[in-house]
Amino acid sequence: MIPDSASRKTVSFFRARSASKRTPPPKEDATFEFASESKTADTRTVSPVVIKVQKPVMLVVGATIAVLVIAGAVGAALALRTPGEATGSLQVESDPPGAEVLIDGTLRGSTPLSLALPAGSYRLVVQRGADAKRTNIDIASGGAKAYHVAWAEPTSVLNATGSLSVVSDPPGSAVIVDGSARGQTPLTVNGLSPGRHEVLVRNTATTYRRTVDVESGATTSLVVGGAPAAAPAWGWITVSAPFTVQIREYGRLIGTSEIERVMLSPGDHQLEFVNDSLGFHQSAEVTVLSGRGGPISLTIPRVAININALPWAEVYVDGTRIGDTPLANVMQPIGDHEIVFRHPQLGEKRQVARLTAREPLRVSVDMRSR
């Protein structure tokens, strides 16, 4: 029990002394308060001491302990933390853009796309509609990988454009179509949209400006002359063939069979007529007269084709009846041919066969299949 402050005496451990010797008052302590029960001055027993800790001190001690505990926990967490995961970069582009990009079967976005991936192996799929390109990739820590995917335009898109063949006198003139430089004559410009196009043909002496009409799936020819002369300084040739051939002189391309007039200087020329896809190659010495042109006739080789059908069929090649299968060594000129098979009960089947000069061709169908 702590006595009332009026009657309480503040003391320390001591023994009672004579009343004649006054003990100086104890110095006040801001932290501890001592209290004892009142005793007479001659009491010789030791008084019990009550220690009372004030609240501010308790709060300070508690806060210090809490801070030490939290600091220890943070230190332990930092010591146990695993190092950062190693990554690399992946960049995917496509032509045309907008293709979907999947990594291990998960859609990650559309091209062009840049990703940061953990180091490792992945399955990359780039798809555009029903078309898809697939590959396995390895991403190294800190490394960078880039992939470019291109799709060929559908045949229907290619057939929706036309071409322009430009020949000049003299050759080597710059060709500009709708404001874009396309190269030097003789030149064939592909992929032009159907309709009218502005064409500039420019050399050191003069500039020719022409408007041409391009048709879908066709080649338009443009021939421009050089500086005026008293007499024509050039002649030309025209080449007729069932397929397109390139015309070369000493290995240099000077025109194609699609050009109405292939301009040449007067005199003798050693020319080559080539179609690599069909294995066709023919040479001829041509004499060109000034101001005049002449046709060039090519000899087209014929190749054997063997045709069969199950159970049998009547065969037509390019609309001409050949006979009933089996047919052996049917000689046809090289190039593309439409073959039609007809059966009175099983109907009709069609194929387009390409004959090349390299080897005979075998064609067969099963009329029973659907």
Radius of gyration of the chain (CA): 50
User: pLDDT 10s digit of each residue in the chain, 370 long?
Assistant: 444 444 444 444 444 444 444 545 554 444 444 344 444 444 444 445 444 445 555 555 566 676 566 666 655 554 444 455 688 888 888 877 888 999 998 988 888 888 888 988 999 999 887 788 888 888 888 888 787 777 665 544 445 788 888 888 778 888 899 888 888 888 888 888 888 898 988 887 788 888 888 888 888 888 887 544 444 568 889 998 889 999 999 888 888 988 888 888 888 999 999 999 999 999 999 898 888 888 888 999 999 999 999 999 999 999 999 999 999 999 999 999 999 999 999 999 999 999 999 889 999 999 998 7
What Cα–Cα distance (Å) separates residue 273 from each residue in 147, 250, 257, 303?
40, 11, 9, 19
Q: What is the 3-state secondary structure (H, E, C) of 61-81?
A: HHHHHHHHHHHHHHHHHHHHC
Q: Which fold has domain 302-366?
A: Immunoglobulin-like (2.60.40)
Please tell me the pTM assigned to this model: 0.38
Whether 302-366 and 87-150 are alike in CATH topology: the answer is: yes
Q: What is the CATH number of domain 87-150?
A: 2.60.40.10
Nearest-5° angle of CA 307, CA 313, CA 318? 60
Query: Residue 350's pLDDT is what?
Result: 92
**Residue type at 318 in one-letter notation:** D
Is the distance from CB of 199 to CB of 177 less than 8 angstroms? yes
Task: Give the pLDDT score at 214.
Answer: 86
Render 214-259 in DSSP notation, one character per residue. Answer: E-TT-EEEEEE--S--SS---EEEEEE-SS--EEEETTEEEEETTS
Position 35 scores a pLDDT of: 41
3-class state of residue 157 by DSSP:
helix
Q: Where are the domains of the chain?
A: 87-150, 158-297, 302-366
State phi, psi for 270 to the nearest 5 degrees. Answer: -95, 110
